[in-house]
Structure 1
């Protein structure tokens, strides 16, 4: 499948999971998503100034993991909206302890590069 031609979010999800094959990559994403939620709440309750840290923490941790841990290109560059949705799906699955089961469900898939 050409990564440019995803027909559904589920198709993209399989690609997304393949791009997060290393546990450390997923952990960096979890930390970044958690921090972005934290800073969003902090900005709502204390000061709008903290909004600056929402994308900085979320994307900073995620992109670090792709460049230095997974050694691939972040899917955000080619599919920003679907990547955003899948990041929160992965966060939820990790939070509930179901991400490893999801990885097994999807099985070994080819790692696609590009957009």
Structure 2
């Protein structure tokens, strides 16, 4: 089974997610993603509680963590560049699977 469809597009997030996981096969990269996504969630909660607008810049930190994981550990190009929305959804799904124990940290 091919992970990437021949035309390079996916019909659904469920079809995309195995590709997303394949692009995060390096354990350190996955860990860095989980930390970055956790920081984004914490910043959003802090924003809701305090209304400090600078906290809305935290997605830059989250993506910074993810891109370090890809460029230095995974040695690939982040899926965000080709699939921005599904990549973001994949980040949150990976985070939830990890913190729930479904996926090993």
Runs of 4+ in 1 over 3 A off after TM superposition: none
SS at match of 1:99: coil
What are the residue-to-residue correspondences of 1:41-56 with 2, within 5 Å?
41-46=45-50, 47-52=52-57, 54-56=58-60
- What runs of 5+ residues in structure 1 fail to find an aligned partner? 101-115
1:29-59 deviation line (CA, Å, top 9, x unaligned): 000000011111112212122111x212210
What are the residue-to-residue correspondences of 1:20-31 with 2, within 5 Å?
20-31=24-35
Gap change, CA 1:3 and 1:74, over 3 Å in 2? farther
Partner residue in 2 for 1:91: 95
Q: TM-score, normalised by structure 2?
A: 0.88
Whose RCO is larger (CA < 8 A, sep 6+)? 1
Q: TM-score, normalised by structure 1?
A: 0.81
RMSD (Å) for aligned C-alpha atoms: 1.2
* 2:83 equivalent among 79, 83, 88: 79
Give the count of matched residue pairs.
99
1:15 aligns with 2:19: yes
Partner residue in 1 for 2:41: 37
